[in-house]
Amino acid sequence: MRFSAAVSLLSISHVLALPAPQTSESASSGSSGSLRGSDALAGYSADENVPISPSTQVSPEDTELAPGQSEDADLGLYVDLSHVKNPQPIRGGDTSPTDPGIRTQEYDRLNSDLYIPPGTDTGSVPNSKWPFGLSHNRHGLAGAGWAREQNVDQLPVATAMAGVNMRLSPNAYRELHWHKAGEWALMLKGSVRVAVVTDEGQSFVDDVTEGDVWFFPAGIPHSLQALENGAEFLIIFDDGSASEDGTFLLSELIQRMPESVVAKNFRTSVDTFKSQPEGQLWIFPGTPAPRDIEKQNVTGPAGLVPHQDAYTYHYSKQQPLKVPGGSVKILDPLTFPIAKDISAALVTLEPGAMREMHWHLKSDEWTYFIQGSARLTVYAAPASSRTFDFTAGDVGYVPVPNAHYIENVGNETLVFLEVLKDSHFNDVSVNQWLGLTPGQIVKDHLKVDDAFVDSLPKVKPLILPGNPNLTTTNFTEEAS
Ligand SMILES: *[C@@H]1O[C@H](CO)[C@@H](O)[C@H](O)[C@H]1NC(C)=O
Ligand SMILES: *[C@@H]1O[C@H](CO)[C@@H](O)[C@H](O)[C@H]1NC(C)=O
Ligand SMILES: *[C@@H]1O[C@H](CO)[C@@H](O)[C@H](O)[C@H]1NC(C)=O
Ligand SMILES: *[C@@H]1O[C@H](CO)[C@@H](O)[C@H](O)[C@H]1NC(C)=O
């Protein structure tokens, strides 16, 4: 680390501190130089020729091309730069342009489709990627957990939905609170006890574990407590400008009202709240929840929240639909009615497989990558497309009705969550669209033959298996 820092300092001083022609004014303020140079340095000077600099070309010996990098740019093969020496922005037959190197190579290695876009990428498409790893991480009290978020502040295109990645240490709470947006969440690790009370005076308590989901409608108060082994989860707010820092907290409610009013409200004395710590609790340590959830059964005359309004869904127990190349399971209001505007699909793709080209009818798509490496191209009218790369912990976002696919470009199973702000999960499959269009029409448009038309499916494939060797140009065969 220290060595490479020294190397880059050397090369920068070589470039940026070439012997500068010193005028008598600029040299006049002592041996250590001056803050500003002479105005005589501005513009053309007949007396001075810029010296010929050393070559800025990167020599082929100082770099390495990855498999597929020399293939035709329009083919747009995924190029894995993660292991090549000194990656260069080369695609296709030419060995230029090169990158003389004011950069942090890790970004280029992680985002090869930005660095060397497929030749088919063109025009202007808003940024569609945000890694939670670049979000500010807010820490709770006394090691109780943390949360980092992605909203329009981080990803301006994501106006319909925002995300939060939250950690609760064993027994820690996300305090009793409510907010303006609806909150849908997927458990990533561990277990959480959820407690909710409705405006009708119904109560709800449940435990959720890895792979399960909850939903809290706007304004409905709730709390979360990690069970004994802690938890990590992913929250999706149904509003792109929602912020984890903008929620309404019980601790603040009590502190922001006159003490006399609080005492009158609870028919008690002002001393009752003397031990409450100053400031927000937000994420804070708790006492262990009783193992037996029956012990936390508090009901009023309105009783429990009825089954059809349950705030949790044990999605981990839902069996996915298995198809060649992966699996899909959908959760939308048809089976989880309380989340009436959120529809999601949890998808797995084997190496080389692809979520088919599609678009959605009414909603933007908010996507979270849970495992593996993927890429996605957004096609947006008019005449624009851009390709983005993703790894675990990244958020992707596709505005409606832009077409896109998601391809597993890694060597492990890709797992991701697609979320729509819609009352049922929907997409238009390009395969099915063409498969159900009269063949003569398809042939007139694409100049394809009958064999192609006959091969088009009438049912959405959802997922297409693919050759895990992404640098072969033989795509259809060898797919296992
Ligand atoms: C909780 O209490 C209510 C009312 O006493 C009862 O109907 C219900 O079965 C209890 N158990 C659970 C799991 O809610
Ligand atoms: C999988 O890909 C990673 C990252 O590119 C690489 O380090 C690893 O060696 C690969 N594993 C196999 C079995 O190819
Ligand atoms: C992938 O395919 C390319 C092109 O056919 C071939 O050169 C390469 O050896 C293959 N890689 C593997 C790991 O099979
Ligand atoms: C693709 O590979 C398969 C064997 O895996 C081979 O039978 C087929 O001829 C190849 N197709 C082309 C176009 O090279």
Q: Is residue 40 part of a domain?
A: no
Range of the domain at 55: 1-11+51-120
Q: Is the pLDDT of residue 87 over 80?
A: yes
State the pLDDT at residue 324. Answer: 96
State the pLDDT at residue 19. Answer: 52
Which residues approach ligand 4 with their CB closer than 6 A? Answer: 474, 477-478
Do residues 238 and 339 both lie within one domain?
A: no
Do residues 160 and 286 both lie within one domain?
A: yes
Under 8 Å between Cβ of 375 and 78: yes
CATH number at residue 445: 2.60.120.10
Q: Is residue 30 part of a domain?
A: no
Q: Is residue 81 part of a domain?
A: yes
Of residues 49 and 132, more confidently modeled: 132
Do residues 323 and 337 both lie within one domain?
A: yes
Phi first, then psi: what are they for 44, rounded to 5°?
-70, 140
Do residues 178 and 87 both lie within one domain?
A: no
Do residues 154 and 295 both lie within one domain?
A: yes
Do residues 158 and 294 both lie within one domain?
A: yes
State the pLDDT at residue 48. Answer: 78
Do residues 222 and 347 both lie within one domain?
A: no
Known binding-site residue numbers: 177, 179, 183, 222, 358, 360, 365, 404
Q: Is residue 426 part of a domain?
A: yes
Phi first, then psi: what are they for 475, rounded to 5°?
-85, -35
Do residues 224 and 298 both lie within one domain?
A: yes
Do residues 98 and 205 both lie within one domain?
A: no
Instruction: Give exposure, 128-149, as e/b (b: 16+ Cβ within 10 Å).
Output: bbbbbeebeebebbeebbbbbb
> Tens digit of pLDDT for each residue in 338-366?
999 999 999 999 999 999 999 999 999 99
Q: What residue owns the CA closest to ligand 4's atom 3? A: 477
Q: Is residue 44 part of a domain?
A: no
What one-character DSSP code corresponds to residue 81? -
Do residues 60 and 161 both lie within one domain?
A: no
CA–CA gap between residue 429 and residue 418 (Å, rounded): 15
Number of domains in the chain: 3
Active site residues: 418
Q: Is residue 34 part of a domain?
A: no
State the pLDDT at residue 30. Answer: 54
CA of 271 to the centre of ligand 1 (A): 34
Say what percent of the chain tops pLDDT 70. 92
Ligand 1 pocket residue status of 295, Cβ below 6 Å: no
Candidate from 13-22, 90-99, 149-158, 322-331 with smallest mean pLDDT: 13-22
What one-character DSSP code corresponds to residue 263? H
Q: Which of 100, 120, 140 is the last residue of a domain?
A: 120
pLDDT band per the 50, 70, 90 thresholds, residue 473: confident
Q: Is residue 267 part of a domain?
A: no
Q: What residue owns the CA closest to ligand 3's atom 4? A: 472
Do residues 344 and 401 both lie within one domain?
A: yes
Q: Is residue 452 part of a domain?
A: yes
Amino acid making up residue 233:
F
Do residues 243 and 387 both lie within one domain?
A: no
